[in-house]
Amino acid sequence: MSEVIVEQNSKSSTNNKSIKSPDYYWAEDREPHFRRRKDILKDHPEVTSLIGFNPNTKYVVVLMVVAQLTIAAFIGQLGWIPFILIAYFVGASIGQALFLAIHEITHYLAFKSKKYNNYLAFVANLPIVLPYAMSFKVYHGEHHWDQGKDVIDTDIATRLEAKLFQGVIGKMIWYLFQILFYAFRPIIVRPIKIDKWQVYNAIFQVTGMVGYYFLVTHFLGFEAYLWAIFYLLFSLLLAGGLHPTAGHFISEHYVFEEGQETYSYYGPLNKITFNVGHHNEHHDFPNIPGSRLPELRKMAPEYYDNLKSYDSWVKVTLGFIFNKDITLYSRTKRKENS
């Protein structure tokens, strides 16, 4: 990588000139989405019609939760080969979709009321076993409002991770278990004060899982419950690594083209991931639900069509692992007090 990130010749970018240190890309300007949002609103005020919530999200979430917990209860009766195939093709797909449903919900995009969005996040959290939705909301909010800020934006791999997981083998190991780093890194790097919603989240999760335990063991036995928990956890591990949708973790902000720090994916897997691939659009307007982000791009094509984007998360993943110039340091950072 060159030492200086070139200026991106794009009306939609404010990431004009950043200095590449021996590790991360260090930017001296504000993240690009603030300026692009203002420019788009000036040129296309009609995009405000897209702001709001998607009333269908709650139905999709409840359906996925019921399906995942039902499959988990019965899967122990099927044998190892069906277990692995179902966990990969169904369980991991639903698991990733639930991660991204919680992402959508914590932006208050399922209900007009913040309270009801939080309640729905509790429901979506159930098959994920551990209560994380309300903590994620705090950390993800910081990722948006302080994108790239050192220490504050815990979406970025730590120096220790970058030093330990180098080369093809190192990056492959990190990628396969990235969901664990994604889950525990914020807690270690930037512990947050526990608020009432995190407590409610934990109570709802424990109560729900205890109820699930009694229901499954009563009708199917204790062994079925053990298989169910194993299925849920295994599906989540697959969702964060081997599954094609896991590529979104890499595609969103890893710098594959110098001068651009956020990237969109315009492929078919958006249909099962709440359009999280439209990531430039999402960061520009986090109050537009995923279902309407394609419309945002159509309304303001001059702001998005000239940005580097992807059509395959699998290709992004392979590029991350096998391209020696792409490392865990390939993220844009800003000083904490900038």
**Across the strands, what pairs with 25?**
20, 332
Residue 336's pLDDT is: 79
Residue 137's pLDDT is: 97
**Across the strands, what pairs with 107?**
none
Which positions of the chain have pLDDT values less than 70?
A: 1-22, 338
Q: Give the residue extent of every domain in the chain.
A: 4-51+253-333, 57-154+190-242
Residue 78 in contact with residue 86, Cβ under 8 Å? yes
Residue 15's pLDDT is: 43
Q: From residue 25, how far is each of 17, 115, 192, 310 by CA, in Å? A: 10, 38, 26, 21
Widest pairwise Cα distance in the chain: 64
Residue 304 in contact with residue 297, Cβ under 8 Å? yes
Q: Which of 91, 66, 50 is nearest to 278 (CA)?
A: 50
Q: What is the pTM of this model?
A: 0.90
Say which DSSP state 8 is in: P
Residue 98: partners with Cβ closer than 8 Å, 6 or more residues away: 61, 64, 65, 68, 124, 125, 127, 128
Q: Which of 115, 95, 109 is nearest to 57 (CA)?
A: 109
Other residues' Cβ atoms within 10 Å of the Cβ of residue 2: 7
